[in-house]
Structure 1
């Protein structure tokens, strides 16, 4: 850690020096005002300061209630000032700021109404469902009818190029290893706990999902497939605003959801509070069919063992989530934000399974096992963050500090009742197994970032970050297999794990030979240690890595842009992947940790081009070393199995993504996302060389239709072709989903009706084959669900909302929230 400590100290000193030097500079200022033809000031006009050579954006602001605006510390030179506002004609005027001038006042600008634009404002204010913004794919969830009433996990499964496998591994472009963020903050949770969190998040509270294949050095280096950032809804209108949503659904069992989003904004303050509730009762039918060879030392050497299992599962999942906070901007340069969030969730599961073991397929079972498990899983979390931002007098320069804390508590209790029969009806043994498995995560992070604009074309970003994660697990199993209640020492254990990551980065953004160029370098020092008293095992690792990234993008003309991105990334083992014990599923299946697991490293390359601002084509390649993948191994009895993660030697991924919006008519548009990829694995496995490659793909088609009587419809079709991940091969699956929306109460309310997986085709089938093992898994969850939701907007009128929303894109570009 000494190397990283020196790096953090030097970087912090550079940050402090740069901040002080900029803070002491004398600002120059450009001011002006905007009014309408009646002489009334116009609020929320977007005012952009651009370069006259290529119209590239330098800075932007929005007028206040008095119609006034200002730019601080503009560098002397010539500029183009552009003023835009929905319902008015766009205006541009050249200005020149002389050296030595501390204040430059622009004559008042009078905006003229544009009746043609006013007549079309409703259509233009609507964002498309899918947007391509450079190397970022944006899914505008709040515009999706089908999303209403679902969860964040269900949204991800329908996001273009994204899939979730049976082990809760999230893939993008066919690659696992994704850094999931919520409002720009990493979750730091293992896959199982992360899946739990995503299934408890109400989709009604989500605004957008961003998929970033090659993130900059400002982001953590983790995630070989990139970053998925889930952005929650945030109201930008002044005054008191919000929305209330309530709904229900039915598949085989009932569902319910409700949410409240409240916001109060003034010129200096913004307060918000969001609450969501969901209840989901669901089922899943899981079948396992397996053939293995007996252990060489057991009777019947070489004879196959046939194993079948039928599992019926019913789950009840109530969840409560909330988020609240305040933001205070006491002057145009300084703001502070305090946010807290949390959730309380339960998962009550009834499992009933029938397992049969046979010496010949089709014959009567040699042994039969029945198992019931009443499982209760409860978890809650509380997270808090404090952030400060300062905008310097030099336009484009800013400094920010963020401190975050999160606590997650998980409590898992099992109650297994097991009966063993000889053949079909002779009871041989019955016993119970109970478990108490509490675990906790405490996550602390702190970061400091600084952006310094050197001139119109060049800026430098730098920052430091430190994260500390501690998880404690106490697992106690008891049973009555010997006729009395006693502790099961073979399954009981403990594990205490701590991980520290220190990071520093620097990014240069400039114009080079016509390319918008970004060069980044991030350094991370990782130290982790784990100890298990029960297993008498300790692990410790300490390593330092540097992660470069390069981004080059060029606009040949207005309707054609192309670019190249490269990044080097890391995926560290999840905490529970290192646990030195077996997670008990039933007497014949479990999941084992691997304390010797190493991090994987990936080189990512991507070529991209955008035609006519809509057609986006990305071609990518990545190669990984020490790739982390699941394998299934047999125990010595050749009947029981366990899954474990191991490091493969190499993994290669090639992909092609095409996003094509098609306008059939003014009332019918189709967004087509085609994701084709080829995965290739190569490793030493069980004294043999394992090589496999497979071509696969994901196709997502979303149709938006405007119907009579103020109705809108949405049809989303998703197809996942057969795929391979390590040793696990997945069969094809997909779904057809439809939705219908009706606006009511003068556009302030809306009813949304949707049906997911109409033809019940979103069924997962997995296959694992290697010498000595042939196993098939069939997972049939409840995916065909009909839901109805009603949303009512509180506060501003729809007309006012349209006016403000028409400026959302510009407001995002100029940094106004």
Structure 2
């Protein structure tokens, strides 16, 4: 660990020295103005700064309300300015910035109207629901009618190629192990706590969801299946802007939601505040059918019916300020948090039989009143400096997050002989508080060597500490006493130090990116109750390569490779038993090792929209759940173990189809083949399964300013470890109506119309044959109203009419 920190210190010194030397180079300022033939200033004109030799784009800006524009920190040399605006003729202006000149004023540009434009030009601000941007799939949630009133977890379940299994594990293209980020910040939470966070996030506050299959070395190396980045809404218009949303819904029970997004932007300051509230009362019916064999070979038949009702009120907020005191320096301060509750009433009826047709040998009636509360507060501060050499920048980010969870159970258990003879009744109480403190700091530097080559480097350190105090009591002896077999405590600390370097250049006609990331991991945990301690320390290097080539205008292809790691979640290492009922529990595994994965992908893009990706990955020490039986051969427990190998082959096809100008379809087909190899209970398992996910999203423009949306999702039967899931899917529809001069909108949506999004799965190996059926409340009708505050209408339409140019110059 000390060696890694020494390397990071040296790298930090090298970066700081380079930053200081680059900062000393001279630069100048280019400024000018744009107007029409009547002398009126033109706002939102795209002004691009290009190299004169080959017209390579350097950077770009948009004119302000007075038609003014400027480029800061430009190195001396010759350039070409290109001015474009919808409805006007394109104009190019050659300029030369002399060495030593601080300001170059471009003669006022006058754009002429394009005679080929007939009538009024209407530019729509709407982005497509699904975009393919290189190796990144973007889901524009803010444009989705069906998303209104839902949660982040529900959005992910409908994202192309993404699924969430019964253990809250998120998969992409059939692979588990996804690094979930919010606004570019890793969450660092275990799957159960992460699922809790995502279910509490109001979808009304989410702008986009990005799915990155093969991220660069700048990202953490964790994530076998890549990165999912959830980006929250942030307004980019000047002045005071925002939106207010209120809605209600109903499935079997009522739901409600509301959110407010406010933003105030000036030339140097930007302040924003987002708040969201959701209330969700829902149900789930869960059935279990299990056959086990005793040591003498006699079967035991176990059935359970569980009825669950939950109430989930949730408050989330985010606020911050960004200050750009000059053209080169800016600082951002952001804080966010949430407070959530989950009240659960569980009622289960369990029977144990020696033969299916016989009367039950034992019957258990269990009720559990559970209360789960959690809150978190996160703060971050970031500094950014732009150098005089265009494309060079230096950033520092420091983040802190605190999560607190408190779980309380009150189990009431009745045991009957046969069906009506009470044998025993008792209570089990639990008090399970836990907390996470997460500290991260990172420093990144991008240096542009020339117009085709840039070098990126950075360092990062993360520190995670979690404390758990688990106390169970029961009254089986007639009075409540501490249950020493279930009570425990566990303190865990994890430190990860990382450094990376990435070279981007042009090589043999390919846009080439070569990166190398090194990570040193040290974690240790200790349980005072069991006097058990764990400690590991390991160093790994993670290379990645990306090659992309434009064979001709409408055809691009590329290849990427990355080596990645998935560390065990903190609670997967805890040496305690998570109690569900007398016959089902989950254990931690302190011996669990990280998994390592090699990812390969070949991609093709045809006509800029039709994308085909072919990929392969192989993992060692693959982490997956297994179910094992206790000594009584009736009770079971789930535990994560390391499989020997896991292989994944996948093919993804993304094809937007325009039926006509009123009807478009975004079709995404994800086909994959998973193969597992492991040894369990003296048996060798080599299991393969072909599966896939199909997502079709249709957007239909209707009369009377109505817009319709239909999203259909189908998940084919799949295999995850030794668990085999059955097919499931959903059909979701939405209708939107613009009101109040298009400042407001009404959104009506219905999710899972045919109630087919039901999770059923099973596991079978010698001595155990189990099947589980989970029927949650997924069919819900919601009505939401949104009203936009501030600048909208024509100004916003013109602003977004330059979306393509803004994307190319990096303004979006």
- The normalised TM-score by structure 2 is 0.98
1:414 aligns with 2:409: yes
Q: Is the CA contact (8 Å cut-off) linking 1:561 and 1:610 kept in structure 2?
A: yes
Q: Answer yes or no: is 1:376 the counterpart of 2:388.
A: no
For structure 1, the residue ranges without an aligned partner over 5 or more in a row are none
1:44 maps to which residue?
A: 44
- Where 1:43 maps in the other structure, the secondary structure is coil
Q: 1: CA distance between counterparts of 2:89 and 2:129? A: 27
Could you tell me which of 381, 385, 400 is aligned with 2:395? 400
Equivalent-residue separation in structure 2 for 1:108 and 1:558 (angstroms): 34
Moved more, 6-15 or 98-107: 98-107
1:95 Cα deviation (Å)? 4.3
- Aligned partner of 1:762 in structure 2 is 757
- Pick one of 368, 384, 387 that aligns with 1:389: 384
Query: What CA deviation, in whole Å up to 9, does each residue of 1:265-299 have, x standing for no partner?
Result: 111111111000000000000000000001x2xxx
What is residue 191 of structure 1 aligned with on the other side?
A: 191
Distance 1:29 1:796 in 2: 30
CA distance in 2, matches of 1:115, 1:158: 45
Q: Which residue of 2 aligns with 1:88?
A: 88
Aligned partner of 1:62 in structure 2 is 62
Contact kept? 1:86, 1:118, Cα under 8 Å? no
Measure the CA separation in 2 of the matches of 1:88 and 1:142.
Answer: 30
Residue 55 of structure 1 and its aligned partner are, at CA, apart by 4.1
Q: Distance in 2 between matches of 1:628 and 1:477?
A: 29
Question: Cα deviation per residue 1:36-89 (whole Å; 9 max; x = unaligned)?
Answer: 223233333222123456544222223344433333454565544222234433
**In structure 1, C-alpha distance between the alignment counterparts of 2:53 and 2:578, rounded to whole Å:** 63
Task: Please state if 1:641 is matched with 2:656.
Answer: no
Match of 1:734 in 2: 729
- The structural deviation recorded for 1:368 is 0.3
**Structure 1 residue 813: Cα displacement:** 4.0
Whole-Å Cα distance in 2 between the matches of residues 169 and 797 of structure 1? 40
Q: Does 1:17 align with 2:6?
A: no
Aligned partners of 2:757 and 2:389: how far apart in 1? 54
Gaps of 5+ in 2: none
In 2 relative to 1, CA 182–120 (structure 1 residues): closer, same or farther, beyond 3 Å?
Answer: farther
Query: Is the 2:664–2:698 Cα contact (8 Å) retained in structure 1?
Result: yes
Q: Is the 8 A contact 2:44 2:798 kept in 1?
A: no
Match of 2:324 among 307, 311, 329: 329
Q: Which moved more, 1:123-132 or 1:623-632?
A: 123-132
Kept after mapping to 2: 8 A contact 1:577/1:645: yes
Moved more, 38-47 or 446-455: 38-47
Please say if residues 660 and 672 of structure 1, whose CA atoms lie closer than 8 Å, have aligned partners that are also in contact: yes
SS of corresponding position for 2:730: strand
Distance 1:726 1:110 in 2: 66
Residue by residue, what CA displacement relative to the aligned partner does 1:765-807 show, whole Å, maximum 9, x if unpaired?
1010111100000000000100000000011132222122223
Partner of 2:499: 504
Distance (Å, rounded) in 1 between the aligned partners of 2:411 and 2:35: 73
Deviation at 1:97, TM superposition (A): 5.3
Aligned match of 1:206: 206
Please state whether the residue corresponding to 2:397 is helix, strand or coil.
strand
Where 2:215 maps in the other structure, the secondary structure is: coil
**Correspondence list, 1:612-627, <5 A:** 612-627=607-622
Q: Distance between the aligned counterparts of 1:98 and 1:380, measured in 2?
A: 57
In structure 1, the residue matched to 2:673 is 678
Separation in 1, partners of 2:79, 2:682: 69
Q: Which of these residues, 626, 646, 651, is aligned with residue 651 of structure 1?
A: 646
| Root-mean-square deviation over aligned CA pairs | 1.6
d(CA) in 2 for partners of 1:556, 1:349: 58
In structure 2, relative to structure 1, the CA distance for the partners of 1:494 and 1:769 (3 Å cut) is same
Give the direction of change, closer, same or farther, for the CA distance of 1:743–1:427 in structure 2 (3 Å limit). Answer: same
Q: Are 1:239 and 2:243 matched, yes or no?
A: no
Alignment partner, residue 303 of structure 1: 298
Determine which of 579, 603, 606 is the counterpart of 2:574: 579
Structure 1 CA distance, aligned partners of 2:663 and 2:328? 45
Give the match for residue 216 of structure 1: 216
CA distance in 1, matches of 2:111, 2:205: 37
Task: Determine which of 465, 478, 483 is the counterpart of 2:473.
Answer: 478
Q: Is the 8 A contact 1:72 1:394 kept in 2?
A: no
Instruction: Rate the CA distance shift 1:410–1:809 in 2: closer, same or farther, 3 A.
Output: farther
Please list the CA deviations of residues 547-598 of structure 1 after superposition, one character each: whole Å capped at 9, or x if unmatched. Answer: 1111111111221111111111100000000000110011111110000000
Can you list the C-alpha shifts for 1:746-767, whole angstroms capped at 9, x where unaligned? Answer: 0000000000000000001101
| Compared CA separation, residues 745 and 72, structure 1 to 2 (3 A) | closer
- Do the aligned partners of residues 218 and 767 (structure 1) sit closer, same or farther apart at CA in structure 2, a change above 3 Å counting? same
Tell me if structure 2 keeps the 8 A contact 1:121–1:802.
Answer: no
Judge which range, 66-75 or 211-220, deviates more.
Answer: 66-75
Residue 632 of structure 1, CA deviation: 0.6
Counterpart-to-counterpart distance in 1, 2:116 and 2:331: 41
Distance 2:199 2:59 in 1: 40
Q: 551, 555, 561: which one pairs with 1:556?
A: 551
Confirm or deny that 1:138 pairs with 2:133: no
Aligned partner of residue 388 in structure 2, secondary structure: coil
Aligned equivalents of 1:234, 1:661: Cα separation in 2: 27
> 1:93/1:640 Cα in 2 relative to 1: closer, same or farther (>3 Å)?
same
Q: Distance in 1 between matches of 2:115 and 2:738?
A: 25
Aligned partner of residue 330 in structure 1, secondary structure: coil
CA contact (8 A) 2:27 2:75 kept: no
* Alpha-carbon distance in 2 for matches of 1:463, 1:70: 30
Q: Is the 8 A contact 2:123 2:801 kept in 1?
A: no
Query: Which residue of structure 2 aligns with residue 489 of structure 1?
Result: 484
Q: Is the 8 A contact 1:323 1:341 kept in 2?
A: yes
Secondary structure of the corresponding residue to residue 82 of structure 1:
strand
